[in-house]
Amino acid sequence: MMRKMFVTVLVILLLIPLVALAESSDSKQLVYDQANLFSQDEVKELEDSIREMNNDHNMDIILMTTNDAEGKSARDYADDFYEGIYGIDHDGAIFSIDMDNRELRVSASGITIDYLTDGRQQEILDSVYDKASEGDFYGAANAYISSTKRFLEAGIPAGQHRVEEKSLKPIEMLVSAVVGALSGLISFAGVKKSYNKKPTGRVFDYAQNAITTGLIASDSEVSSRVIRNVITSSSSGSSGGSSTRSTTYRSSGGGTRSSSGRKF
């Protein structure tokens, strides 16, 4: 009898941490709507979708909005925000809607960098740009979740490799700029067409609206360091499956990150 009671108590003690962990995971905040772009119901629905994705892929992906970037660039603010919660090099990503800088930003760290290559990040921005430009921020957030989930399920592209931001050659920087500009221009054209009955005074600025991680290096900064991963999984998405590069850089906190943004 005593032995049976001892076993029962032992099992209960072993289960307590697991229950606490499950409750902690379910209650973890995943949407930080500092700019008040969503209703309470929308926040709950977004968090439920993100939580399911995080649990499926063992990552911490969050969504953040702000109307005050504290004088920082959209990239630095998003990076600092994420690392302030999870630390550096944590497996996950942040999607930020920066109303101060008027910029959409995708920033990844840890293993998530290898899933969200440069091309895939541009596709994610393609999926959210029109909705954000029209003021449909809830729709943009859902598009981000759907696109990110699709790429995580597709796996790391075959041939995926990391290139440090300063190691990009001038021709590669030019290609990145052209691809980003074209992606932004196509998205802008779609929005402009939908408003063809209204006068528009905005001129799409290629340099400001198409932002990639590898456009600030000078010739003197070029190095040859390339980090390659041998991956055998499928390579769907990512600009028609052609982009396998993840351009990385050091955040202000010292972490390795990969990020892309687009003005809206």
Selection from 89, 79, 153 nearest residue 116 by Cα = 153
CATH top-level class for 24-263? alpha beta
pLDDT 10s digits, 132-165: 999 999 999 999 999 999 999 999 999 999 999 9
Per-chain mean pLDDT for the chain: 79
For residue 31, what are its two tokens? Answer: 């949407």
Q: What is the mean pLDDT of residues 229-241?
A: 39
The pTM assigned to this predicted structure is 0.70
- The highest-confidence range among 110-114, 199-203, 216-220, 222-226, by mean pLDDT, is 110-114
| 164-200 per-position pLDDT tens digit | 998 655 555 565 555 555 655 555 555 455 545 444 4
Percent of the chain with pLDDT over 70: 62
Burial pattern 226-240, b for ≥16 Cβ within 10 A else e, equals eeeeebeeebebbbe
| pLDDT for the residue 182 | 60
The answer to whether 33 and 43 are in contact (CB under 8 A) is: yes
What pLDDT, in 10s, does the model give residues 96-142?
999 999 999 999 999 999 999 999 999 999 999 999 999 999 999 99
Q: 101 vs 208, which has greater pLDDT?
A: 101
How many Cα atoms are found within 13 Å in the side-chain-facing hemisphere of 226? 11
Distances from the Cα of 9 to the Cα of 12, 18, 22, 23, 261, angstroms: 5, 15, 20, 21, 53
Of the listed ranges 25-39, 56-70, 230-244, the least confidently predicted one is 230-244
Average pLDDT score over residue span 3-13 = 52
